[in-house]
Amino acid sequence: MIRTLVVDDEEHARDRLSYMLKGEESIEVVGVSKNGLEAIKDIDTLKPDLVFLDIEMPEINGFDVLSNLDLNILPIVVFVTAFSEYAVKAFEVNALDYIHKPFDKERLAKTIERASKTLSEKQGKVFSNKLQEFLKEREKTSELVERFILKSNGSIYLVKTIDILWVEASGNYVNFITEKKKHLMRSTMSGILKKLDSNLFYQIHRSTIVNLDYVDRIEEWSYGDYKVIMKNGEELKMSRNYKELIRNF
């Protein structure tokens, strides 16, 4: 049996797809997620073999869900989409499966057959590599984000970018500093910088990005470097190579 999770924010679509899947002998529907946040938790806890993942969901869309999972142990993913055929060419190029809304029984059967073959031939790693490449290509053209999805000690937090005081590098991770908490996320500074509003966030050091709204003042320090004094009293070093902030301050 293929342990399957259905993810969709539309009740009718969830019910319809779940009903159709339960009619398939090889499928066991182990859960239904109503939004992206539930999906991240359910995939982590239920560990399904197959996930039907809606792309267009509010706040946390299907791509955001995938970006917050361990891609090395990822289930087979079938994208559920209302996109035009032109838009889904990206999936086809990367050999990723998808089904259109409204759902078609014949197309669904082919999708299940394809997923079953992938699982039986133990091609999960191959699929994971394809998906990682797809997400990397998509990230290159990704737009500014309004919030980050950050996991900590079994909990998932939605952190608005306007609430981030500063970002600091920590090895292969970055720390998001807010007034209440420090959140850790696996990423690079350059990757994070692309997702932040350049009118509000400025890099002041190779390992530090600040939110201008939380900067109180800038003071000269030594050897051409400066100190950025945050409104909460924290002092951050600004390298002489990142003086753009002064001109915009």
Tokens, residue 146: 């309004």
The pLDDT of residue 203: 92
pLDDT of residue 233: 95
Average pLDDT value over all residues in the chain: 87
Q: What pLDDT is attached to residue 85?
A: 62
What the chain holds in terms of domains, given with CATH numbers, is: 2-140 (3.40.50.2300), 147-248 (2.40.50.1020)
Which residue stretches of 70-216 are H helix?
89-93, 105-120, 124-140, 189-194
Provide, rounded to the nearest whole percent, the portion of the chain with pLDDT above 90: 45
For residue 155, pLDDT over 90 is answered with no
- Give the 3-state secondary structure percentages of the chain, helix then strand then coil, rounded to 5: 35, 30, 30
Token match 């999972």: residue?
69
Assess whether pLDDT exceeds 60 at residue 86.
no
Count the residues in the chain: 249
Q: Which amino acid is residue 155, in one-letter code? A: S
**Tens of pLDDT, residues 115-144:** 998 888 877 778 878 887 887 777 666 678
Give pLDDT tens digits for 197-219.
988 999 999 999 999 999 999 99
